[in-house]
Amino acid sequence: MLKTAVCVAGTEPALKIKDQQTGEVATDRETGESLYTVTVMLMEDGRAEIMKITVPQSGLAAGLKPGAMVRPVDLFATPWARIFNGQLSDGVAYRAARLELVAVEAAQ
């Protein structure tokens, strides 16, 4: 991400569900910590992209709410693809160690 990029939280953190039928919560493989997803709007060079970022519970900043400017820390993307009912689905899964709130300086 460029230094000119702006990220804005679009949703409240939502608990990530691993299995919709059983309601099993997704957890970090190494720590066992519950995982959450946050929709973030990335705005850069006159374009915008919506990203759904997975973050462990300890990586959620206090006060994180829609409209808050955030900085994803240790963000990485994993491309994925699968075939379901003969149709190819693909996308990118985003994961961050944490989302930090970004202080906005008042214009003078």
pLDDT of residue 4: 72
State the Cα–Cα distance between residues 98 and 73, nearest whole angstrom.
5
pTM for this model (two decimals):
0.84
pLDDT of residue 2: 56
Mean pLDDT by runs of 10 across the 108 residues of the chain is 80 94 92 95 91 96 93 94 91 94 69
